[in-house]
Amino acid sequence: MYPLLDTINTPSELRLLERKALPKLADELRNFLVESVSSTGGHLSSNLGTVELTIALHYVFNTPYDRLVWDVGHQTYAHKVLTGRREGMKKLRMQGGVAGFPRRDESEYDAFGTAHSSTSISAALGMAVAAQLEGTDRRSVAIIGDGALSAGMAFEALNNAGAMNTNLLVVLNDNDMSISRPVGALNNYLAKLMSGRFYATARRAGEKMLGVVPPVLELAKRAEEHVKGMVTPSTLFEEFGFNYIGPIDGHDLDVLVATLSNIRHLDGPQFLHVVTRKGAGYQAAEDDPILYHGVSKFNPDTGIISKPAGKPSYTQIFGDWLCDMAALDKRLIGITPAMREGSGLVRFSQEYPDRYFDVGIAEQHAVTFAAGLACDGMKPVVAIYSTFLQRAYDQLIHDVAIQNLPVVFAIDRAGLVGADGPTHAGSFDLSYLRCVPNMTVMTPSDEDECRQMLYTAFQMNSPTAVRYPRGAGTGVTPQKEMRSLPLGRGEIRRKGEKIALLAFGSMLTPCLKAAEELNATVVNMRFVKPLDADLIESLAAEYSLLVTVEENTIIGGAGSAVAESLENKGISVPLLHLGLPDIFIDQGDPSQMLSDCGLDKTGIIKSVRLRLPA
């Protein structure tokens, strides 16, 4: 079915092909990706856009000796296929299968593990410096998208790299613009010319010769910049100290291979601007690259995506609340770091465009931007994934919490996230939030409680966080009318004997199921901070075993807060803490992952019975 692709298991075999065979390989590889992702789900648009670029990089560079460092990593499916993992794609993002992002422990071709944005240039620079110190000719290449270039970390790395005479190549995969045919052809020609050794040698010789006459050298530099400026984008990257080349067509393998071959022999920091199309070669993905960015299973012939009917997700609950709250309070501002669709802000962005701000992949800026808004009377709501809020922890403490500003953090993807694995799991937010003074931390157990907690948080005049899991809730219909919940107060949901299960957030449902067999009392704790210390004290006096259950790491989490509360009052009672273990939990089916952690009905019952006296 794939006569050429089936012969390629390693990049060394790819490099044996004649250059004229590469376009056919690209066609086969693109068709394979569509077929493969249609049966597993995953990232599609971004991977279709980098097929030719991936082939060219492995064709020109001696991988894995030369290092390819991918940014974010959601565009590396073609890379995985060409590096011996074609069969493994059948279990893409499944337990025991190929990860959706690069992982060093998966392949020697994955030079750097990643899944968050804007790390590639820093990592590749470190590798380039290591090669320089070792005295080797190894090359390091960072492949970064235009979206990832919006983060400050990328510019910090560019600034550092440009000041060093290190053999680093940064490839900008720009998929947010197009090149018209005439300009594209001219740019391709000039890029090959400017990446050639003759041009580089002539440029250095000219600088040396003209260096004795500084005014003439300055005139020559300005003339060169003027000529380049007529046919290329801004010389911003040259101001950073890079030799800028491009833009070139990222789907033209002849141009890609020729340009990369030339660049491979140039010394110093190089910057190649490559223009691609998201979803290239698959019409449905080209027409709607956002829809096909991350997809569930779909029909490759029709492009129709499988959408299982069911309960609304917590993300939808948040999006609806945000619009309802915005209608009631004109001070509400919605902020997202480039996650409009994922965080449920599409409707809000359409209905309240003047109060909607997508700041790009810049989590640190998002939080401090919110702090500035709060200083001048606005009520910002930062919609952010738990794992991405980690990137703005200093801003959360320094800019929001210390100043006690009323910023609401709507934290999506709390707990385990299934196929995206440990890089996207919200395993730590209860631990890293509850230790911050002035913070209020809430854990809704169902859809209605999520809506009411968001309203409660918005009414407060201090930093608040409402954390909720990925996917659908329990099926509780949210009440349209909004009300404030009593701050720091839990509620007993079931009365039993001897054992009290203290459930935080998503763990209420499995606790209620386990309690039927254990005849245990179940408490919906609701708040991690402030904790309901009075309720905990009364439970300690009545029950012989208190069991805390949370979808967060046990270390420093909600269970630790309960233990600290009891210790502060000098109360000694048997405690059992259930939560996520002290490991990074691999990808898989979310329900199976929770079961493996002992956080389902069966696991809770087993853990409690093991702890009870015989």
Active site residues: 278, 363, 391
Is residue 553 classed as helix, strand or coil in its secondary structure?
Answer: strand
Q: Where are the beta strands (DSSP E) in 229-378?
A: 243-249, 270-275, 294-295, 332-336, 356-358
| Crossing angle for the helix pair 197-210 and 181-195, to the nearest 10 degrees | 60
DSSP states along 107-127: -TT--S---SSS-HHHHHHHH
What would the two tokens of residue 354 be? 């003047």
Degrees, nearest 5: CA angle 326-508-430: 65
What is the Cα–Cα distance from 559 to 580, expressed in whole angstroms?
11
- Other beta carbons less than 10 A from residue 261's beta carbon: 17
Hey, what amino acid is at 269? Answer: P
| Crossing angle for the helix pair 51-60 and 253-263, to the nearest 10 degrees | 40
Q: How far is CA 33 from CA 27, 86, 294, in A?
A: 10, 10, 13
Q: Which residues contact 290 (CB under 8 A, 6 or more apart)?
A: 45, 341
DSSP states along 19-71: GGGHHHHHHHHHHHHHHHHHHH-EE-HHHHTTHHHHHHHHHHS-TTTSEEEES
263, 289 Cβ separation under 8 angstroms:
no
